[in-house]
Each structure stands twice: as C-alpha cells, then as structure tokens.
Structure 1
Amino acid sequence: MAAQVVVVGSCMTDLVRQLYQSLWAKKVQNIRLEEYTEHLTTRLPRAGETILGHKFFIGFGGKGANQCVQSARLGANTSLICKVGKDSFGNDYVENLKKNGISTAFVGQTTDAATGTASIIVNSEGQNVIVIVPGANLLLNSEDLKRASDVICKAKVLVCQLEITPAVSLEALKMARASGVKTLFNPAPALADLDPQFYIYSDIFCCNETEGAGDSFVGALAFYLAYYPKLSMEEMIRKSNCVASVSVQASGTQSSYPYRKDLPQDLF
C-alpha cells in the first residue's frame, strides 16, 4: 500500500542534558536537599558559565522524523524523505524508523556530512535551550525529491518544515499540490524572511511554540487529514491536541509519543 502520509524533513540525534533530579530520586538515593542543591542548579547556564547537571541521554528527534513517528504510531502508513550521515547516529536512526514502521526507502545516507544533532539543556521548569547542527539534513536536495516523486504524488498528505533547506521544502510542497495532495506546513524553526510562496502552496499552515508536543500535534493532524478527511477541521484539531497532551506527560521527544492502542478509542 502506498504511503498515505509522506514527510519531507529532518532527522536529529538529540543530546539531552537535564539540570535537575526528581524529588523521588533524591529520596531513593538518600540525598539531603541542602547537600544536593549546593552542587546542582535548576536554572539554565549564563554565557561563559559552567554548571553541574544531573542526567544525560541520547534520543531521536528532528521535526520531520518526530512528526512522521507520531503519525505512524497512530496507524498511518508513512514514508520519510530525509538524509542522515553514514555514521553510527545515522545507522541508529534508520533502525529507529524501521522499528516505528516507517518506510526508509528514501532515507539517504551520506559521507559528506554527519547526522544532524540537537544539543538540548532542560531545567526543572521545562524551559530549554537548543543548539542545532543540521549536518546531513542540509544536503537533502531536488534530486532526492525527484527520486521520491512517485511516493509524494500518491500520498494523501505531505508534511514539511524548515530544518532542511527551505527551497527543498517549498519544492516538495509544489510537487504535492500539483498532484492534488493535501499539504501541511510547519514553519519551524521560524524564518524572518519566509518566502511568500509557502503561504500559496500550503493547505494548512501550522505554527507551534513548544517543540516536542508541537511535532506530536502536527503528526497527529497529518494522520487525521489522511484517514478521517470528513471530520471538521475543528474536530481534527481537538483530537490532535488530545494526542499531543499525552506526549507532555512523559520524558523525551519520540519516546513520549503515544501509540494508538494506549489512547482513548473515541479518538478513532
């Protein structure tokens, strides 16, 4: 069966540092609060400052892959068009996509750049600072889109964002619209000088403030657009918000995204 939701976008390996430890963990480890806070801060570091964190983990992220994973976990037949490095991060990412049931036919691996990374620092209040190194994401090009043209043009919904070269996202949107495919565009990270053509070729223009939950929402919305097209937009948005609200109750990005079987069945 042809992919119903096709995402053209980014893959990022998330390198996450948490600056805090839960009260539960402190109790288990029998750490007195005053001793703990003497060495650990919950605030984000200032310029030129070194602070002590608590936890580090590596996760899978990138707006394109995030959105594709959430859509797939709801039951969508999906395909991701992206580029990663021919390195350990890239190999791990390809396996992650396969485990989520996503077609990797158009996931390219290159030796010309490393897999994209996002260095993320999170404090106890959920505030974060993120530094992105796009790497291989910026090497996704027109030739890659041409190779994937059949899957793009046969989709029900195409999703794009801005963590790849904007011109490539715009080209993908144009390609999809020319074949009558519904286009969903998430203009993030935000650009001050966004090409006005993005408004013309996007059926739905969906901005977000929060990162992980925003991607969960977009992925869910793509699912509803593809599989429940007769729902009103208001109802699609309500259901997508319900899905995204679950993601904020767990840690990590893709690791927090719910599966269809774990959600209230009236969402389907």
Structure 2
Amino acid sequence: MKTIAVIGSNMVDLISYTDRMPKEGETLEAPMFRMGCGGKGANQAVAAAKMGSNVVMVSKVGDDMFAENTLRNFQSYGIDTKYVNKVPKMTSGVAPIFVNSSSQNAILIIKGANNFLKPEDINKAEARLKDVDLIVLQLEVPLETVYYAIEFGNKHGIKVLLNPAPAVPDLDINYACRCEFFIPNESELEILVGKPVNTIEEIKIAAKVLLDRGLNNIIVTMGEKGSLWLTKEGKEVLIEPTKVKAVDTSGAGDAYIGCFSHFVVKTNNIEASMRKASLFSALSVTEKGTQFSYPSIEQFDEFESENL
C-alpha cells in the first residue's frame, strides 16, 4: 500500500465563534467555543488518512496535558505516530482561532514544541521515510527542517509537496524548485512574489514569476475562485469551485492539500486529484472546526455524486 509522510506541525485548536471581531481594548462575549486538534501538518495528515491513505507523521508535541490527546487523535485515524515525540518542559503548539458570523477566520499560532522538529528527527525516521511515496511539508516548523526534508526526498527519489504556509517572504525558492508540487493560496503567493493577486489573471502573472525561477508545478488554491494549476511548459488548468454555504473556512486549505495528496499518489493524475480536492475542501467548510469538519469516505462519495 502506498504511503504518505507528513513532516510538520500539530496544534491544539482553541476556536471561538463570534458575531464580530473585538476592537482593540474591547471585551466581547462569544456565543460558542470548541477545542480540537489542528495544525497544518496534522490537518493534512488527517485529511489524507480519512480518504484512505496510509500516513506516517513526523512531528513534535509538548510535555503537557495536550500531548496525549494529540497522539490519541492521530491514532484514531490510523496515522503512524512512532515519530511523533515529546519535547521535555515545552508546551504543545496552540492555535487560538476566531471565526466571525460570515465564516471568516483570524488565527494566532504559538508553535511551542513544533519549533523543536529538527533535521535529526528526519534522520531518526529514515528507515521508515525512505520508502514512502510522497513527502508533504508546510512552514509551521523550522525552515532548516523543511529544507532538509526536501533534500531527503530528492536523495531517495521521493516526490515532495510543499505548502508554503504560513508564507514567509524569505523562503528559498531554490528549494521550492526541487519539489514536485508547490501549493500556496493566493495570499501566500502575494507574499512570496510581491505582486497583486486580486484576479485570476493577476494570479497567473504572479505564479509565472515562480515558474520562471524554476518551479515545475504550481497549484494556487483560490477559495471561492477555485484552484489553478500552471506548469513551466505553459499548461494552465482552472478547476471551478463547488458552491456551498460556508459555515467555517478554518482548515479548508489543509483539507485540499491532504485530499490532493491522497489522490495524486493513488492515481498520478494531477487534474483529477485537484477536482477531488476541491470537492473535499468545499464540503469541509460546511461544518465547524478543522479536522471535525473533514468528511468520511462515505460522505465524500455521496457529495461527489451530487456534484458530478
């Protein structure tokens, strides 16, 4: 069975639902709170696992009350946690999330133990990682670890997917060019290239900056505008969005990445995998939370049949 390795972050999501965001210095009563497991790496791992992938996670948790819950959560989805290790005297990563009445969110990230995921952790997992079919990366762990993971994938002939989130302007694009897939959203693309991304045409121009620097494939997720795949050979594929009533957009990008990873490993068909990921992501925003909202295979299949 093919395997996906997610090398990256996990967080505890502390989600507050509010009618509006408070102004500076203002205290508001929020109608609802929910706590869950999140973090970009963990979300992507769970999305892939929910679709049926064999997933191994390489990550760090703290030495606190959240750690065991995070491990149990991974294991509940069948994710291999052998290489999810505790950092003594350190908190787990935490993400306070604020969601307003129009389903838009604002997120704070306290990386905690995620800052301690190092290249040597990849070396310790080498016997397991060298045989996987895809390595999935994000930027909620140290950049040196992300770069080392890309080198590891190249060394062992493993395809690498890099989701440059949260975006950092000093990301070394030379490393991105060594990845098979580079998948930012439009705001992350804007940060990376410093060009406007208000329309699809502007997004194409911004993406071409990176293609001209050597990227093989770039897939830009654009929320309500769908997703766009561009290649250095000039191919352009636009996947139209699936219209749904959004309740909470938290984790939608991670849902896309995880689902895309599952199907591209399974089928090696990028365009078809994008369509599946678009549907999965759309369905995820119809429920509250991040991993809570990711559909089962049965729910996804039903939704797909309704939207053919």
TM-score range, shorter chain: 0.7 to 0.9
Aligned partner letter, 2:266 = Y
Tell me, yes or no, if structure 1 residue 215 matches structure 2 residue 254.
yes
Check if 1:72 corresponds to 2:49: yes
- Shift in Å at residue 8 of structure 1? 0.3
Counterpart position of 1:48: 25
User: Deviation string for 1:95-149 (max 9, x for gaps)?
Assistant: 0000011000100111131000001111101122211100000001111110111
Cα pair distance change 1:192/1:211, threshold 3 Å: farther
Q: In the aligned structure 2, how far is the partner of 1:122 from the partner of 1:217?
A: 20
Match of 2:4?
Answer: 5
Structure 1: tracts of 5 or more residues without a match: 20-41
Aligned to 2:273: 236
TM-score by structure 2 length? 0.76
Cα contact 2:119–2:144 (8 A) shared by 1: no
The equivalent of 1:154 in structure 2 is: 131
Q: Which residue of 2 aligns with 1:250?
A: 287
Once the two structures are overlaid, the 10-residue window that deviates more, 205-214 or 235-244, is 205-214
192-201 vs 113-122, which moves further: 192-201
Out of 197, 200, 203, the residue aligned to residue 180 of structure 2 is: 203
Using the TM superposition, give the Cα deviation of residue 266 of structure 1 relative to its aligned residue in structure 2, in angstroms: 10
Q: Quote the offset at 1:151 in angstroms.
A: 2.1
Q: CA deviation at 1:228?
A: 1.2
Normalising by structure 1, what TM-score? 0.87
Q: Does 1:126 align with 2:103?
A: yes
Residue 50 of structure 1, CA deviation: 1.1
Moved more, 258-267 or 181-190: 258-267
Identity of aligned residues (%): 36
**Cα distance, 1:245 vs. partner?**
1.1
Match among 158, 170, 181 for residue 193 of structure 1? 170
Q: Which residue of 2 aligns with 1:137?
A: 114
Give 4+ residue runs of structure 1 displaced > 3 Å after superposition: 265-268
Matches within 5 A, 1:18-57: 18-19=17-18, 42-57=19-34
Give the drift of 1:211.
4.7
Are the counterparts in 2 of residues 141 and 168 from structure 1 also a CA contact under 8 Å? yes
Distance 1:251 1:265, change over 3 A: closer
5 Å-filtered alignment, 1:99-114, equals: 99-114=76-91
Which structure has more relative contact order (CA 8 Å, sep 6+)? It is 1
For residues 302 and 96 of structure 2, the distance between their equivalents in structure 1, rounded to whole angstroms, comes to 36
Q: CA contact under 8 A between 2:250 and 2:285: conserved in structure 1? A: no
Partner of 2:68: 91
Check 1:205–1:110 CA distance in 2 against 1; reply closer, same or farther (3 A cut): same
Q: Partner letter of residue 63 of structure 1?
A: K
Cα distance between partner residues in 1 of 2:142 and 2:289: 26
Query: 1:226 aligned to 237, 241, 265, which one?
Result: 265
Q: Secondary structure of 1:106's partner? A: strand
Aligned mates of 1:267, 1:4 — CA distance in 2? 24
Cα displacement (A) at 1:74: 0.4
Range with greater deviation from structure 2 (101-110 or 173-182)? 173-182
1-structure distance, mates of 2:302, 2:53: 16
Give the Å deviation of 1:45.
Answer: 1.1
Query: Which of 182, 185, 199 is the aligned partner of 2:159?
Result: 182
**Which residue is 1:35 aligned to?**
none
Larger Rg: 1
Residue equivalent to 1:28: none
C-alpha contact (below 8 Å) 2:60/2:116 kept by paired residues? yes
Say whether the 8 Å CA contact 2:64–2:90 is kept in structure 1: no
Distance (Å, rounded) in 2 between the aligned partners of 1:177 and 1:264: 34
Aligned residue-pair number: 243
- Structure 1 position 196, deviation (Å): 2.0
CA RMSD of aligned residues (A): 1.7
Q: Which moved more, 1:211-220 or 1:74-83?
A: 211-220
